[in-house]
Chain A
C-alpha cells in the first residue's frame, strides 16, 4: 500500500465525503444543537440559553398534539390494513397465470406517479362543492347514505380519505415485495404437502406464511417508518395549511415550524424532528424484538 494509492483512494471518495459532510453529518450534529438552544432567532442567529424548553414547548403545543394524534391514527390503521390487503393480492396474483403480468404492471402504477398530482384527483373524487356532491357521495347515495364532505367536513371523514389514499399509495411497494417473496418459495414444500393431502388453508398457514415471514416483517417495519413520516399525501388532499384543516402530521409540523406562515422557529422544528425520530426508533426496536419470536429465517 503506497502513499500514492492512499491519496488516490481518498481522491475518488472526496466528492462523496464533501457532499455527505455538508448535507448529512454536519446537519445531524447541528439539529441536536438547535434543539437545545432556547429562544433562537433566525435573523440575528442568537439565542438566550441552553436547555429543554424547546421540547417542552413542542410537547405542550396543541398543534403538535393534534399532529401526533393524526399520525398515530394513520399508522395504526394503514400499516396493518395495507399489509393484509397486499398479502391477499399477492397470494391471488401468485395463483393465476393469465393476465398476471398485466395486473402486476397496473398495481405498480401508483409508485411512479406524483403523489401531489394524483392526490388532487382523490380530492376531487371525495370533495363536495356547491356544484356537485362528487363521486364518493354518488356511490354513498346508491346505498342511501350521505352526502358527506370528505375534504372540508367532519374529522373522521377527512381521516378516512387520508387513510384510503395512503393505502392506495403504499400498496405497489408491498405487493411487489410480497409477490417476489411468494415466487421464491421452494415448490418442493408445496409438492410434499400435496402428497400428504394437506388443505390449502393449512398449506398457507404452515408453509407459505412462515416462508415469507421475513419479508412481511420487513414490510411492517418500513411501513411503520414510512407512515410516521406521512406528509405530502395530506398536503395533496387538504392543501398546505394543514393546521387549519386539523390534518397536520408530525413531519408537517416540523416543516411548518421551519417555514411558511407560522415558520421561522428552527429550534422548535428540531425538537419536534428529534421527538419523531425517538418515536420511530422505539417502535422499530419493539418491532425487532417481536420479530425475533415470530419470524422464521
Chain B
C-alpha cells in the first residue's frame, strides 16, 4: 500500500519537475529572442569596419573591440544634431502638454460650470479618433502656416492628448471634497489649490503621464517625417532612416549600429530607473500593440 502511495507521489513530483523545466526553457528562449537584437547591435557597434566586412560567416563575439564607430557616428553624420533636436522636441512637447492638460483635468474634476458634462462627453468621443484621419489636414494646415521644417510645426499638433486629460481627471476626482472646501474657507484660490495641493497628491500619475509622453515623443516617426525634409530638423527616428539611406555609405554597418545604440540608450535607461512606473502606466494607458 505505502509503496503504491510513494510511487504515485514520486510520479507526480517528476511530472511537476518536467513541467517546470519546460516552462523555464521556453521563457528563457523568449528572453534570448528579445535580448538578442540588442546584443547584436552592441556587438556590431564595437567591431571595426574591416573586421565586420571580412566576416562572411558572422561571429558571435569579438576579441578586438573598438570605439571608432561611435566616433564616426558623431563626426561623419549629424547624429548629435538629431539627438539634440529630439531632446528639444520631447521636452517642449511634454511641457506644453502638461500646461494644457493639467488645467483641463482640474476644470473637469473640480470646477462647476455650465456645459461641463457636454464638453467632457465630446472629449471622450475624441479619444476614438485615429491619428491617421486627422494627420492629412494637419499636414496641410502646418504647410499653409509656413511651419514646415520648424519646431513649431513639429510640436503644435503633437501637444494634445485627450486620454491623458481623462487619466488625470480620474485621479483628481479621487481627492476628497473636504480638502477643497477647507482650502476655500482659508481663502486659497483655485489655482493655488491646484498647484499646492492637487498636483503634489497626484504626483505619481503626473510622473507616469510624463514618462509615457516622453516615450511617445522620442519614438515618433510619422509626423516628423511628414513635416520635415530639412535634415537640420530631423529627430532621431528620421535621422536613423536618413543615416541608413544616405549616411555612412551602405556598407558601414558597424557605424550605423553605433548610431542605433546611441539612440536606444536614453529610453532604456529611463525605463530601468522608472521600471514600475512605466509598466503600471502602460498597463493603464498603453496605446501600442
Contacts and interface: CB of A to CB of B under 8 A. Distances in A.
Given A27-B138, A96-B23, A232-B222, A16 B132 contact: no
Interface string B49-61: 0000101111000
B34 A107 contact: yes
Contact of B111 (A9, A225, A236): A9
B154 interface: no
Interface in A3-28: 5-10, 12-13, 15-17, 19-20, 22-28
B9 to A, nearest CB: 14
Contacts of B113: 1, 5-10
Contacts of A254: 132, 136
A269 interface: yes
Contacts of B114: 1, 6, 9
Interface stretch (A57-65, A119-127, A203-211, A288-296): A119-127
Contacts of B116: 9
B193 interface: no
Nearest to A223: B289
Contacts of A112: 215, 267-268, 270-271, 278
A92 B23 contact: yes
Contacts of B135: 27, 258
Contact of B26 (A92, A168, A269): A92
B130 to A, nearest CB: 6
B219 A15 contact: no
A186 interface: no
Interface in A105-160: 105-118, 120-122, 124-125, 129, 131-135, 138
Given A103-B31, A255-B222, A12 B107 contact: yes
Interface in B23-44: 23-24, 26-27, 30-31, 33-35, 37-38, 40-41, 44
Interface residues of A, number: 94
Nearest to B35: A106
B27 to A, nearest CB: 5
A109 B38 contact: yes
A131 B56 contact: yes
Given A27-B137, A240-B241, A132 B103 contact: no
Given A107-B31, A108-B279, A114 B267 contact: yes
Given A27-B133, A96-B27, A112-B270, 6 more contacts: A10-B107, A20-B160, A109-B271, A121-B38, A133-B56, A239-B241
Interface of A: 1, 5-10, 12-13, 15-17, 19-20, 22-28, 30-31, 34, 42, 85, 88-89, 92-93, 95-96, 103-118, 120-122, 124-125, 129, 131-135, 138, 168-171, 173-174, 176-177, 180, 219, 222-223, 225-226, 229, 231-232, 235-236, 239-240, 251, 254-255, 258-259, 266, 269-270, 273-274, 276-277, 280
